């Protein structure tokens, strides 16, 4: 599995200090749509390896970061590039649409 887990404590080092693009998947264990898009995000991470890192943050275990970035519904995806939030999307989408959104934001 290429998807890394980040926490409130590791967010700055893993996402904000990362050189390049990082897609953060804000999710929770009880969220069915989150589980639905997880395999697609995994594949996108593999297909765009070297250009994009995909990480997951459990909002129940890490409440500070989602609050800071205005995450009000899950799944929420936020694409960061060189420490800046560039694009944000809520809700589950098919893999093709997720890939289009990611590539359009990169």
Q: Please identify every residue annotated as catalytic.
A: 31, 34
- Tokens 């694409």 sit at which residue? 79
In this structure, the dihedral spanned by the alpha carbons of residues 2, 23, 66 and 13, taken in order and rounded to 10 degrees, is 70
Torsion of CA 93, 84, 21, 18, to 10 degrees: -130
Q: Which 3 state secondary structure label does DSSP give 5?
A: strand
């Amino acid at each position: 599995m290429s998807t890394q887990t980040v926490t409130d404590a590791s967010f700055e080092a893993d996402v904000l200090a990362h050189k390049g693009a990082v897609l953060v998947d804000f999710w929770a264990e009880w969220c069915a749509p989150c589980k639905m898009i997880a395999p697609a995000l995994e594949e996108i991470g593999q297909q765009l390896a070297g250009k994009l890192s995909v990480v997951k943050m459990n909002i129940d275990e890490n409440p500070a970061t989602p609050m800071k970035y205005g995450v009000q519904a899950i799944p929420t995806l936020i694409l960061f590039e060189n420490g800046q939030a560039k694009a944000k999307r809520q809700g589950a989408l098919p893999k093709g649409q997720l890939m289009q959104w990611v590539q359009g934001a990169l």
